[in-house]
Structure 1
């Protein structure tokens, strides 16, 4: 991926096997493709075909070429290697989601830049969107992200209320489908407490 430059315009053309493809890298189009790759209702081959069509507006290529186009667009233009296997030693935990937090992101762009993202469909480049997003997270959104990222301290006899308050907030703002280690630990702890109470002799 080329470094972000203030002196050069985005060159959204992919040259592959002697053919030049004009790319649609508007932020809404790229987000649509991200959403497509996360939709398990589509077969992987369907995802490749649809993503290729969204990127270049063409669907007459053979499957191998479509796969190459999609791979190189992600790698060379979006800095994402979709073929790379995840490293279990690398922390990939995320604290915000472009879809679950869509309303917060939209409100942040309005508040920080007076930019209506719906009016920018087909216009705002994804790289610009990503750069602006890193600074557009307003105070309320930052608090939500901070709650998700916050580590719950080990229990002591002095911090029970603080721990319960933090865990309650983490439950409220947790991302769907992502298990928070602190919430898992709390469930296990509650389970053991219930079990202990069950076997504790009654007074």
Structure 2
């Protein structure tokens, strides 16, 4: 969370580990890359930890950290990002599938070109701006249709059809897989 009295929006931070200070840089683009890395099957978990260490620790070559130290430092960085308090929930946006919508939304709402902010804007500032985007921006429109309830009743047939069409248009690949699986299960039950 940002503060009105302290400069927390600076992406450069000092992490204290074993009584030594380690300079880390937490920009929005690095965090998004680390999210992508977590889902990458090409690298094993140990390789991912080393890559994240090198991604976030400024001048990482100057440190002589053991593999255990690297693991512990990456764990501290993850905590710094707020990784401990995130609960499993349905995906309502995806940084990769929604990249165009997010970029357009920042331009529309704040006149900020995120490509110009790569390596500069902190993760905290990015998320503060993202979480406060106006509802008329492209990403918030997509989120609204992904999460809205479909009306029931004969009197709402046209609205239901319109909303279902928009839900399908804006659905994420994870939502599409769930929908297709549910459709398949429904067909199997009807067949049996």
TM-score normalised by the shorter chain: which range applies? 0.7 to 0.9
Matches of 1:183 and 1:92 in 2, distance apart? 19
Is the CA contact (8 Å cut-off) linking 1:105 and 1:137 kept in structure 2?
Answer: no
Q: Which has the higher contact order (CA 8 A, sep 6+)?
A: 2
2:169 matched to which residue of 1? 172
Contact 1:167–1:183 at 8 Å: present in 2 too?
no
Contact map agreement 2:27 2:118 (CA 8 A) in 1? yes
Aligned counterparts, 1:1-203, within 5 A: 3-10=1-8, 12-57=13-58, 58=60, 60-75=64-79, 77-81=80-84, 92-137=89-134, 139=136, 140-153=138-151, 156-178=153-175, 185-190=182-187, 192=189, 195=191
Given that residues 151 and 182 in structure 1 are in contact (C-alpha distance below 8 angstroms), is that contact kept between their aligned partners in structure 2? no
CA distance in 1, matches of 2:24, 2:140: 33
- The Cα of 1:44 is off from its aligned counterpart by 0.6
Per the alignment, in what secondary structure is the counterpart of residue 5 of structure 2? coil
Cα distance change, pair 188–167 in 1 and its aligned pair in 2 (3 A): farther
Q: TM-score, normalised by structure 2?
A: 0.82
Structural RMSD (CA):
2.7
Give how far 1:127 is off: 0.2
Cα distance 1:153–1:191, how it changes in 2: closer, same or farther (>3 A)? farther
Query: What is the Cα deviation at residue 150 of structure 1?
Result: 1.6
TM-score (norm: length of structure 1): 0.78
- Secondary structure (helix, strand or coil) at the match of 1:23 reads strand
Structure with a larger share of its residues in helix? 2
Rounded to whole Å, the distance in 2 between the matches of 1:117 and 1:151 is 32
SS in 2 for 1:136: coil
Q: CA, structure 1 residues 185+29, in 2 after alignment: closer, same or farther (shift >3 Å)? A: closer
Where has structure 1 moved over 3 Å in runs of 4 or more?
156-165, 178-193
Cα distance per residue 1:5-28 (max 9 Å; x no partner): 111123711101112110111111
Is the contact made by 2:94 and 2:172 (CA closer than 8 Å) also made in structure 1?
A: yes
Q: Distance in 2 between the 1:56 and 1:100 partners?
A: 28
Task: Return the alpha-carbon distance in structure 1 between the equivalents of residues 158 and 185 of structure 2.
Answer: 19
Change (3 A) 1:152 1:91: farther
What runs of 5+ residues in structure 2 fail to find an aligned partner?
none
Q: Classify 1:99/1:92 alpha carbon distance in 2 versus 1 (closer, same or farther; 3 Å).
A: same
